Structure 1
C-alpha cells in the first residue's frame, strides 16, 4: 500500500484517555501519523557525510544494546568491558531513531517526540526548566495551556507509574526516569491533550520534565509504546492494546507511519504473518517474540531452538525493538547464520566496517546473495527484503550483513530488519504481525 508523505488522518475524532489503562475497545477509531528518522530532521543531523552518519548511528546503537544486555542478562553471561560503552544504573533506555510530530496542550505546541517500543512513560520538556537540553521547537509551557492539570499523589494515574519512577512532593505526583546511558528526565506528572492533526487525545497522563539531560539531541521528549500501564497504547481504551507501524528503510527518504487500533486500516491486517508474543516478567515494558530458527536461501540453518528460548528466570529470548538498529544474536547463532550466508553469496568481499564483519562491494560483477528468513514458533516464516539484511555503510559501494554477535543469550530484532514492512503488535491478544503492507 502506498503511503503519502503528508500526515494522513483517517477520521476526525477526539479520544479520551482513562485514568487507569483499559482494555476496552471501540473499532471505529483509528489514527495514523507520520514517522520520520531522526537523521531527516536537518537541525539534528550534524553529519552530512553518509559514513559519519552511519558511524554515529552505530555508536548510539552500541550504547543501547549494551544497556539492554546489562539489564536483561545474568552477569556471568558477558564481560562488561566487551560491551563497548560505560554503563550506569537505570531502568529504561534513552535512544530512539524514529520520531512523530505531535501537539501538546491547548492550544497545541508542536514537538518532535521519539517513538520507543521499549519505554512506557510519555514525557516532554517543560517550562520552567531547572535544567533542559537544547531542542528545535519552543519548550512546552504548561502555563499557556487551558487543558493542563497536575496529577496528584495517590490518584490512579500516579499509581500507574512504575514504583521506581514515582516521586511525591507536596501532594503532587512526580516522576523520574533514568536511562542507562546517563540521560534522565525528572518532573511532574500531568494530564494533557495531545493533537495529531485533527485528532485530539484528552487527559493523557504524561511527564512534564523540568530537569532533563542527555543524548536526546533536539527531540522534545518521548512517546512510550511499551507494555506498561502508563504507556500511550495502554492509556487509550480505543486502541484495544493494538498498534502498528512501518519504518522506512535507511535508503528511503519517504516517511513511515504509526497507527493505533484494530480493524480496517488498523493493527490487525488480513494477510499478515502472525507470531506469538512472549511475556517476560523481568522486562514487562518490552515485546518478545517466539522465534524458533533462521533460514538462508529458503533452507533452515541448523541452530537449536533453545538458543532463542526465554528462560523461566526471564533471561535470553528474542526482543523486537524499534530503538535498536542492528539485530544481535547469540554468537553461536550469528556465526551459523553468517557462514550459511557467505557460502551462498557470490560477490567480492570488502573490509569489515564497525561491528559488521561481513561486507561486500555492491558494484562487483554478478553480485548475488540469498534470502534471509525468520522462523517463528507455530510455523510462520518471514522472509526479509534485501534492505532488511544488507545495509549501505558508506553511501557508495559497500554493503554489510546487518547482523551482529552478542556474548549474551539475549537476541534483539532491530529496526533494520523491521524496515519496509508493517509491524503490528496486538498485546491484548498476544500476537505480533508482519506485513502484508509495505512502506
Structure 2
C-alpha cells in the first residue's frame, strides 16, 4: 500500500500550471485492483465518528462500507452502481430541462413517483454513494446521511410516518427532541424554499429526485451535531412521506451552493468552505468531510468556479480541455463553456460516479487513449462503457496518463485506478468515462477518489490536492 500511496503522490504532483505533463505513462496494478473488488466486513462504527483532533470534521463512508444487502458479488454491485449512475445523470439533465421550461414542478414529479408501491429496503439497492453519520436533535440521535454536492436541502425521515422507506437506524422522532421547532409559513427561512407550501401555518417542503425517490414533510429548525460541535437552528426537512432507496440512510445532507444547503446555512461559521476526500476502492480506511477555512490546504491547485445563475446550486468548474499521454487534445474549449442560457459547462458532482463528456469531446478522448493502448487486449463493452480491456493474467499494465485541463492553466493528471476500473473480478477493465447526452460535462466521484478536494465557495475556487486520501 505504501508503494501505491507514493505513486499517487507523484501523480498528483503533475497538477501544474504548465501545458504538458512530465509523466506521459504510468502503471496500473491489475492484481491489486482485482483484489480490491472483494468486500471486507467493516468494523461496527460507534455513533460519535468525529476526528478527535479536528473540529467540523467527519468520517466519510462509501456505501459498500455500510451496505448489508445481498450484492456481495462485484459484478452485481458494479451493475447496480452504473444503473444508479444513469438515473442520477438523467435526473440532472431532467432538472435542467425543468428549469428551462418552467412547466414541471416537484409536485408533478411526486405524482410520477408511484407512491402506492411497496416500501423497498434501502440496504439492498438505493441512491447515494457516500455517507456521513451525524447527530440530530436534543439529545442527539445519530443517523447515516447521504451527502450530495448537487442538492441544497437537508432532510431526514420523521415519525409519525405516513410513508417511509426502511433505514438502518430508528426513524427520528421530533417529539423526543427538545430543540425541534417548526418553521412558520411567514418565516424568511420558508421563503428560501423553491417550492414551499403551507399547512395550518407550518411551512411545508417537497423534493423529488430523478430516480423516483421523494421526500415531503414540514420544515423545522433543529440542532445538528458534528462530532463535538453543535449547530443550532439548522433548517431541515422533517419528512413524513418518503419514497426511495437510500441504502439505509435516514436522509440527505445537501452540500450544494445554495442558501438552504448545509454549507449555505453554516455561512460565516465556516466561511463557505469545505473539503472532502472520497476514499479509494478497496481501502480499509474511511474518507473525510471537513467544514471551515481550516480545511483549505496549502499547496492545492486552485481552479475557478464558474457562476451559472440558471443553476446556482451546482459547482461548475472551468474545464477547458483534455489530455492523453502528456499531450493536450485538439478539442475546442467551447465544448465545455456555460452558454448564456445556462447550458453546457462542467459540474463537479459527488452523486455521479462516471465522468460524462460531450460526445465530440468523449470520442476524441477515447480514440486518443485507444491509440496509445494498442498493446492491451480489448474486451466487449460493458453497460455504458464502450472501451474495455481483458487484463486477465496481467500483474501490471502500462497506460498513458489522462488529464483534465482547466482555465488558468492548471492540469489534473489522474491516477490510473481513477480511469481504468474493474467491471468484474476476473480482469475486465473499462475506460471510466462516457458520452453525455447533452452538452453538460459532469466530473464524477470515480475520478475524484483518493484526491483531496476543497471547495472555497466564498472566493469561487475548487482546489485539488496537494495530499492524497
Tell me the TM-score range normalised by the shorter chain. 0.7 to 0.9
Report the 3-state secondary structure (helix = DSSP H, G, I; strand = E; otherwise coil) of the residue aligned with 2:430: strand
Measure the CA separation in 1 of the matches of 2:359 and 2:98.
Answer: 16
CA shift, 1:160, in A, is 2.2
Note the C-alpha offset of 1:367.
2.5
The correspondence for 1:34, drawn from 59, 66, 73, is: 59
Q: List per-residue Cα deviations over 1:406-435 (Å, max 9, x = no partner).
A: 231111000000000011111110111111
Q: How does 1:210-225 map to 2 (within 5 A)?
A: 210-225=240-255
In 1, Cα distance between equivalents of 2:354 and 2:168: 28
- 1:328 pairs, out of 356, 359, 365, with 356
> Alignment partner of 1:271: what SS?
coil
Correspondence for 1:381: 411
SS in 2 for 1:63: helix
Question: 1:73 touches 1:410 (CA, 8 Å); kept in 2?
Answer: no
For 1:418-429, list aligned pairs within 5 A.
418-429=448-459
Out of 383, 408, 426, the position equivalent to 1:396 is: 426
Is 1:246 equivalent to 2:277 in the alignment?
A: yes
Aligned to 2:128: 96
The whole-number CA distance in structure 2 between the counterparts of 1:31 and 1:363 is 44
Q: In structure 2, what is the Cα distance between the partners aligned to 1:253 and 1:352?
A: 30
Match of residue 115 from structure 1: 147
Alpha-carbon distance between aligned partners in 1 of 2:183 and 2:288, rounded to the nearest angstrom: 31
1:229-378 to 2 correspondences below 5 Å: 229-236=259-266, 237-263=268-294, 266=295, 268-345=296-373, 346-364=375-393, 367-378=397-408
RMSD, aligned CA: 2.1
CA contact (8 A) 1:34 1:100 kept: yes
Partners of 1:199 and 1:395 in 2: CA distance: 42
Distance in 2 separating the partners of 1:213 and 1:307: 37
> What's the secondary structure of 2:398's corresponding residue?
coil
Q: What is the count of residue pairs matched by the alignment?
A: 400
Residue 138 of structure 1, CA deviation: 0.2
- Give 1:339 deviation, angstroms: 0.7
Matched residues in 1 for 2:297 and 2:222: separation? 31
RCO comparison, higher one (Cα < 8 Å, 6+): 2
Deviation of 1:74 (Å)? 9.7
Report the 3-state secondary structure (helix = DSSP H, G, I; strand = E; otherwise coil) of the residue aligned with 1:180.
Answer: coil
Answer yes or no: is the 8 Å Cα contact 2:180–2:222 preserved in 1: yes
The corresponding residue for 2:53 is: 10
Quick one: distance in 1 between partners of 2:207 and 2:283?
A: 33
CA contact (8 A) 1:326 1:403 kept: yes
Counterpart of 1:228 in structure 2 is 258
**CA–CA separation in structure 2 for the residues paired with 1:423 and 1:330:** 24
Instruction: Give the deviation of 1:73 after TM superposition.
Output: 5.6
Q: 1:38 to 1:273 in 2, by over 3 A?
A: same
Runs of 5+ in structure 2 lacking a partner?
6-44, 101-107, 114-125
The answer on whether the counterparts of 2:185 and 2:203 sit within 8 Å (CA) in structure 1 is: yes
Q: Distance in 2 between matches of 1:403 and 1:301?
A: 16
Note the alpha carbon deviations across 1:277-335, whole angstroms, 9 max, x for none: 01112211111000110001110011110100110000011011000000011111001
Equivalent position of 1:62 in the other structure: 86
C-alpha contact 1:73 1:408 (8 A) present in aligned 2: no
Distance between the aligned counterparts of 2:91 and 2:137, measured in 1? 33
For residue 293 of structure 2, give the secondary structure of its aligned residue in structure 1: coil
Partner-residue secondary structure (3-state), 1:333: helix
* Per-residue deviation, 1:183: 1.6
Query: Contact 2:56–2:227 (CA<8 Å) still a contact in 1?
Result: no
Question: Residues 273 and 433 of structure 1 are in contact (CA less than 8 Å); yes or no, is this contact kept in structure 2?
Answer: yes
- Of the structure 1 ranges 331-340 and 352-361, higher mean CA displacement relative to structure 2 is found in 352-361
* 3-state SS of 1:342 partner: helix
Q: Which has the higher mean CA deviation after the structures are superposed, 111-120 or 252-261?
A: 252-261
- Among 188, 197, 211, the residue aligned to 1:167: 197
CA distance in 2 between partners of 1:154 and 1:172 (Å): 9
Q: d(CA) in 2 for partners of 1:333 and 1:408?
A: 12
Q: CA deviation at 1:75?
A: 12
Q: CA deviation at 1:48?
A: 0.9
Per the TM alignment, residue 204 of structure 1 is displaced from its structure 2 partner at its CA by 0.8
Matched ranges for 1:170-181 at <5 A: 170-181=200-211
1:132 matched to 2:164: yes
Residue of structure 1 in register with 2:460 after alignment: 430
Q: Tell me if structure 2 keeps the 8 A contact 1:177–1:185.
A: yes
Equivalent residue number for residue 95 of structure 2: 71
Equivalent-residue separation in structure 2 for 1:360 and 1:75 (angstroms):
40
